[in-house]
Amino acid sequence: MKNIYCYRTTSWLLLPALLLALAGCELFEYSPYEVRLKPEERNINEQHIARILAEQPSSSDTLTVALTADTQGFYADNDDMVHHMNHRDDIAFVLHAGDITDYGLLKEFRWIHRSLDRLRVPYVAVIGNHDAVGNGQDVYRAMFGKFDFSFAVGSSKFIFLNTNFLEFDFKAPDLDWLETQLQDRASYKTVFVVSHIPPTSFEFGEHNNDRYQRLLEKYNVSLSIHGHTHRYDFYKVEEEGVDHLTVATTNEREYMVMQIVGEQFKLERVNF
């Protein structure tokens, strides 16, 4: 009995150590809503923008950028897209127009990041409406960083705008912030605004569309880039307005390539 008692006591003493060890790996989680990340999984946008800027081309060079969106749950398609992009030697970086995940869960963010992190080039992602459900806003903020941000490379500026009006309690998009970002337009040959929800959707906040279009026109934005609809589209909201691009989901086996030269850009639909 003494030996049995000692064995049981020892087992209970070892239990906290075992739980601590399990907590440090991915096989054990307290809750599907917790946010526990490895250092390399934090502030991905900031890390990848630093990589982009470290290899910044001169303003006279052609800048080639790939565009994707709505990778949510399409794991095999995403892997195939990454494989296809990696066989090109012209892409400088990849822009993701949101909906990284389906349910905003850490596991989903991690699975998609592991696929996209196999790209030979950096990628930068804006938050989508599916990324903002549950505790997805907390996960995105921890993994990718700010909801609204920008960076410039060469003579081009890229502005990432959170347009998830419903998921952010009608406080998005922050069009005052956007105008602040656009005020240095004269310093760049091209300026691109990247967001998930397009302004033609009621989920953008119908009253926001008019001001958004006025800002695009006032500051001569080169292109407004979106995801969300899962299909390719290229259009103008207003007859004399700024061009808008909607990027298809990876499930459509398609991504976009944009070549930027000076004040001009050219778009190509690429199937994989």
Tens of pLDDT, residue by residue over 43-60, are 999 999 999 999 876 656
d(CA 72, CA 131): 9
Tell me what percent of the residues of the chain surpass a pLDDT of 70: 86
First to last CA, the chain: 68
CA pseudo-torsion sign 152, 102, 23, 113? negative
Q: What's the burial of 138, exposed, middle or buried (CB within 10 Å: 0-12/13-18/19+)?
A: middle
* pLDDT at position 246 over 60: yes
* pLDDT at position 32 over 70: no
Let me know: does 153 contact 117? Beta carbons within 8 Å: no
Specify the 3-state DSSP secondary structure of 93.
strand
Please tell me the predicted confidence (pLDDT) of residue 266: 98
Q: How confident is the model at residue 144 (pLDDT cuts 50, 70, 90)?
A: very high
Cα R_g (the chain), whole angstroms: 22
Top pLDDT among 10 and 112 is at: 112
Q: In the chain, which residue ranges form alpha helices assigned H by DSSP?
A: 2-23, 44-54, 75-86, 106-116, 136-143, 175-182, 206-218
Residues 6+ apart with CB under 8 A from 149: 45, 160
Top pLDDT among 69 and 59 is at: 69
* Conformation bin of residue 76: beta by default, left when phi > 0, alpha when psi is -120 to 50: alpha
Nearest to 99 by CA among 73, 77, 65: 73
* pLDDT at position 25 over 80: no
